[in-house]
Amino acid sequence: MQQDPTKHIAELLLSKSGVKQTTYRNVNKAFRTLKEEAVKLIETINEKTNSKDSEISLFVETINDQEFHVKIAGDLLVFFLHTNIITLGADYAYNKSDYVTQDPNRKYLGQINVYNFMADSFKYNRFNDPGYLLARVLINHEDFFIVEGDRQVNFMFENVSSKPIEQTDLSILIQLIITQAIENDLVAPPFPQIRGITVQQKISKTEVLGAGNKIGFQMSSQQDIE
């Protein structure tokens, strides 16, 4: 007898829905913990810097349940929790791993993105100033995780974790992200590039006025174009 297609659809929906709901709960919990670790770290750094330079601005600001900012002197880190559960492309090594092959439900991931902006871009409403993705945290329904990023972030979390994500992992991650943002300086655009500007560029105070870009945060797509 032919299987009732509506029954199959219902079973598939229930199975996927349960996995995705668990995944979102996990990534939401990790996001809250990440913010708590950011607050603790900034408080510790403030204690070490205020006595020497009270002008250094460091704080954590909650925007809403899906976003918080970490201000570190001239940098503003934007932590953003996506509400949708995603999968990675078929060419990702993660999807080809034994871990996912053994249980396809492990491919569903919640994500937290961390972007680096110049703090003045927000302060002066320079809407055309770029931000750069520093790290992307991906967590599945078993609380196992992947972190994509540059340099130390990528080195420390190169493959899928061997255990569920813990507070210690998030504490290390927030330290690496903040360190990376501080270590990368602004580089002014070449003189010929800013020789001529438009009125709109002047009004919106874009990087064309010489604000510069963060060195070391050039996306791979930009590198290919250049």
**Domain interval for residue 19:** 9-185
User: Is the pLDDT at 93 greater than 70, yes or no?
Assistant: yes
Tell me if 114 is assigned to some domain: yes
**Average pLDDT, integer, range 210-215:** 52
Confidence of residue 184 (pLDDT cuts 50, 70, 90): confident
Q: Which residue in the block uniquely carries the two structure tokens 């503003």? A: 76
The overall average pLDDT reported for the chain is 82
Tell me if 204 is assigned to some domain: no
Domains held by the chain: number:
1
Tell me if 38 is assigned to some domain: yes
Tell me if 138 is assigned to some domain: yes
Q: Which residue in the block uniquely carries the two structure tokens 């913010």? A: 35
Confidence of residue 17 (pLDDT cuts 50, 70, 90): confident
Q: Which residue in the block uniquely carries the two structure tokens 């961390």? A: 114
Confidence of residue 51 (pLDDT cuts 50, 70, 90): low
Q: Which of 183, 173, 147, 148 is nearest to 36 (CA)?
A: 173
Q: Within 13 Å and on the Cβ side, how many CA atoms surround 50? A: 8
Euclidean distance between CA atoms 140 and 184, whole angstroms: 31
Tell me if 54 is assigned to some domain: yes
Euclidean distance between CA atoms 199 and 166, whole angstroms: 51
pLDDT of residue 201: 65
The residues, any chain, with a CB within 8 Å of residue 90's CB and separated by 6 or more, are: none
Euclidean distance between CA atoms 143 and 122, whole angstroms: 34
pLDDT of residue 226: 33
Q: Report percent pLDDT > 70 for the chain.
A: 78
